[in-house]
Amino acid sequence: MLDKKKKLKLVLCWHMHQPEYRDLQTGEYKLPWTYLHVIKDYVDMVAHLEAVPKAKAVVNFAPILLEQIEEYARQVACYLHDGISITDPLLAALADPSIPSDTEERMKLVKDCMRANRERQINRYPAFKKLVEMAEWLDQHYDSLRYVNSQFISDMLVWYHLVWMGETVKLTDSRVKRLIEKGSGYTLHERVEIIEIIGEQLANVICRYKVLARKGQIELSVTPYAHPIMPLLLDLNSTHEAIPNAPLPELDAYPGGEERVKWHLEKGVQTFKRLFGFKPKGCWPSEGSISDLTLKILGDFSFDWAASGGSVLRNSLSIPENEKPSGTHHPFKLKKTNIACFFRDDGLSDLIGFEYSKWHADDAVGDLIHHLQNIAAHESDDAVVSIIMDGENAWEYFPANGYYFLSALYQRLAVHPDIELTTFSECLQNKVEVKPLAKLVAGSWVYGTFSTWIGDADKNRGWDMLGDVKWVFDKVISSGRLTDKQIQDAELQLAVCEGSDWFWWFGDYNPGEAVSNFEKQFRLNLANLYRLLGEEPPAYLALSFTQGSGAPVMGGAMRPGVEHL
pLDDT over 80 at 550, yes or no: no
H/E stretch holding 16: strand 8-16
Beta-strand pair 340-343/332-334: antiparallel
Mean pLDDT is lowest, of 46-50, 97-101, 157-161, 304-308, for: 97-101
Amino acid, single-letter form, for residue 372: L
Closest Cα partner for 391 from 266, 564, 205? 205
* Predicted pLDDT of residue 67: 98
Mean of pLDDT values over 417-438? 96
With beta carbons less than 8 A apart as the criterion, state whether 395 and 40 touch.
yes
Identify which has the larger pLDDT, 556 or 81: 81
pLDDT over 60 at 564, yes or no: no
pLDDT over 60 at 300, yes or no: yes
Mean of pLDDT values over 166-176? 98
* Predicted pLDDT of residue 558: 63
pLDDT over 50 at 193, yes or no: yes
With beta carbons less than 8 A apart as the criterion, state whether 384 and 421 touch.
no
Q: Which pLDDT band, with edges at 50, 70 and 90, does 123 fall under?
A: very high
pLDDT over 70 at 557, yes or no: no
pLDDT over 50 at 2, yes or no: no
Quote the CA–CA distance of 451 and 154 in Å, as a whole number: 43
pLDDT over 50 at 454, yes or no: yes
Mean of pLDDT values over 193-213? 98
Mean pLDDT is lowest, of 214-223, 291-300, 463-472, 539-548, for: 539-548
| Bridge partners, 436 (sequence order) | 333
Mean of pLDDT values over 114-138? 96
**Percentage of residues of the chain with pLDDT beyond 90:** 89
pLDDT over 70 at 94, yes or no: yes
* Predicted pLDDT of residue 548: 81
Quote the CA–CA distance of 125 and 180 in Å, as a whole number: 9
Mean of pLDDT values over 266-280? 98
Mean pLDDT is lowest, of 137-146, 429-438, 471-480, for: 137-146
Quote the CA–CA distance of 440 and 317 in Å, as a whole number: 8
* Predicted pLDDT of residue 143: 83
Amino acid, single-letter form, for residue 474: D
pLDDT over 60 at 4, yes or no: no
pLDDT over 80 at 5, yes or no: no
With beta carbons less than 8 A apart as the criterion, state whether 307 and 282 touch.
yes
Query: 294-332: b or e for each residue (b if 16 or more CB lie within 10 Å)?
Result: bbbbbbebebbbbbbbbbbbbbbbeeeebeebeebbbbb
Q: Which pLDDT band, with edges at 50, 70 and 90, does 112 fall under?
A: very high
With beta carbons less than 8 A apart as the criterion, state whether 550 and 298 touch.
no
pLDDT over 50 at 551, yes or no: yes
With beta carbons less than 8 A apart as the criterion, state whether 494 and 469 touch.
yes
The total number of residues shown for the chain amounts to 565
Q: Which tens digits make up the pLDDT trace of 366-394?
A: 999 999 999 999 887 889 999 999 999 99
Mean of pLDDT values over 324-329? 88
* Predicted pLDDT of residue 556: 59
Mean pLDDT taken over the chain: 95
Residue 283 burial (10 A CB sphere; 0-12, 13-18, 19+):
buried
* Predicted pLDDT of residue 453: 97
pLDDT over 60 at 173, yes or no: yes
* Predicted pLDDT of residue 565: 42
For 539, residues 6+ apart whose C-beta sits below 8 A from its C-beta are none
Quote the CA–CA distance of 404 and 425 in Å, as a whole number: 29
With beta carbons less than 8 A apart as the criterion, state whether 52 and 168 touch.
no
One-character DSSP codes across 492-515: HHHHHHT-SHHHHH-STTS-HHHH
Mean of pLDDT values over 214-243? 98
